[in-house]
């Protein structure tokens, strides 16, 4: 009778390793997705602030917000990020010569529509709001 020394993994050991890796992936992937959404939201907030600054410059030169149009800029400032894949659509509503509201609405593509902050809004008085289930502190700070 020949005795064989077998080295390697048993099927049970392999299945335990696969189960552990699956559990770690199930925990890590949603956290990764949330961090990606958070970074895209940070870019949208920066773009909102930049648009407010551009609007204030326009108001200083022209005496009001009437006529301010990010769509006429080159390139048009209607999405966030400004170039590449758009995760937010930026819209500007000029209420009068002294009122302005800029909105960043998440697009349905790219997963940003699952962001808990929803639509972000800022006005000429720097009042910031969000439409999602998250709080002001979670979205704006």
Instruction: Please state the domain extents for the chain.
Output: 11-140
Mean residue pLDDT of the chain comes to 88
Does residue 94 surpass a pLDDT of 80? Answer: yes
pTM: 0.79
Could you report the per-residue pLDDT of 68-91, keeping only the tens digit for each? 888 877 778 888 888 888 899 999
Angle made by CA atoms 20, 24, 26, in degrees to the nearest 5? 115
Model confidence at 45, pLDDT cuts 50, 70, 90, reads very high
Token reading at 40: 């895209």
d(CA 48, CA 52): 6
CA distance 53 to 36: 26
């Amino acid at each position: 009778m020949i005795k064989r020394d077998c080295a390697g993994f048993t099927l049970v050991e392999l299945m335990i390793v696969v189960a552990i890796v699956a559990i770690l992936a199930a925990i890590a992937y949603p956290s990764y997705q949330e961090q990606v959404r958070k970074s895209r939201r940070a870019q949208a907030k920066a773009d909102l602030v930049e648009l407010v600054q551009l609007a204030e410059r326009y108001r200083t030169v022209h005496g009001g917000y009437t006529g301010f149009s990010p769509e006429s800029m080159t390139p048009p400032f209607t999405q966030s990020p400004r170039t590449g894949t758009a995760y937010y659509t930026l819209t500007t509503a000029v209420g009068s010569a002294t009122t302005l509201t800029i909105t960043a609405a998440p697009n349905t593509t790219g997963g940003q529509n699952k962001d808990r902050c929803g639509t972000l809004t800022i006005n000429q008085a720097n009042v910031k709001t969000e439409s999602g289930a998250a709080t002001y502190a979670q979205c704006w700070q």
